[in-house]
Amino acid sequence: MGYSQLRSKFWNSIIEQNTQVISVTGGSSETVYIQADSNETWLIFLDVTFKGSLADANDDNELEVKTYGATSQSVVTKRYAKSHSPSVSVIAIITDTNKIQITAKNNGSNTGSLHVCYSGFKVD
């Protein structure tokens, strides 16, 4: 049995790669949200890394990625990592009401950086 090609594509356009780098000072946290444009549905491939300062190599930093339903009370998925430079990868479907929340907590005393990168498809 072989594979057959889909009769029609499931997407109508590509979401170009989006990259953000956010400084997170020692002892603080930063939160980033990703949400589809109005009346759109996105299938996205997300990679998030928090790079702690080498001077704080013994401190465990925290990285949390949540996808929400229609309200912030309905968490669909939650990924958590804790290490000096935690990293999380997620594939998610989001809309203008379902979003992703990314929170990085720097438990060191020096500034680190939150790296957020995603791309994907706008789906029909």
Give the pLDDT of residue 26. 92
| C-alpha of 9 from chain center | 25
Give the pLDDT of residue 111. 92
| Span 38-43, average pLDDT | 93
Long-range residue pairs from 88-92, CB within 8 A, at least 24 positions apart, any chain: 88/47, 88/48, 88/49, 88/63, 88/64, 89/45, 89/46, 89/47, 89/48, 90/45, 90/46, 90/48, 90/65, 91/43, 91/44, 91/45, 91/46, 92/43, 92/44, 92/46, 92/67
**Quick one: tokens of 50?**
């928090």
Q: How far apart are CA 57 and CA 109, in angstroms?
A: 11
Q: Read off the pLDDT of residues 45-102 as tens digits, 9 standing for 90 and up.
A: 999 999 887 777 777 888 888 887 765 555 556 677 778 788 888 888 898 888 899 9
Return the closest-CA partner of residue 81 out of 53, 113, 45, 105.
Answer: 105
- Give yes or no for residue 6 having a pLDDT over 70: no
Q: How far apart are CA 92 and CA 81, in angstroms?
A: 18
- What are the sequence ranges of the domains in the chain? 13-123
- Which CATH number does 13-123 carry? 2.60.120.510
Reported as a pLDDT band with limits 50, 70 and 90, residue 4 is: low
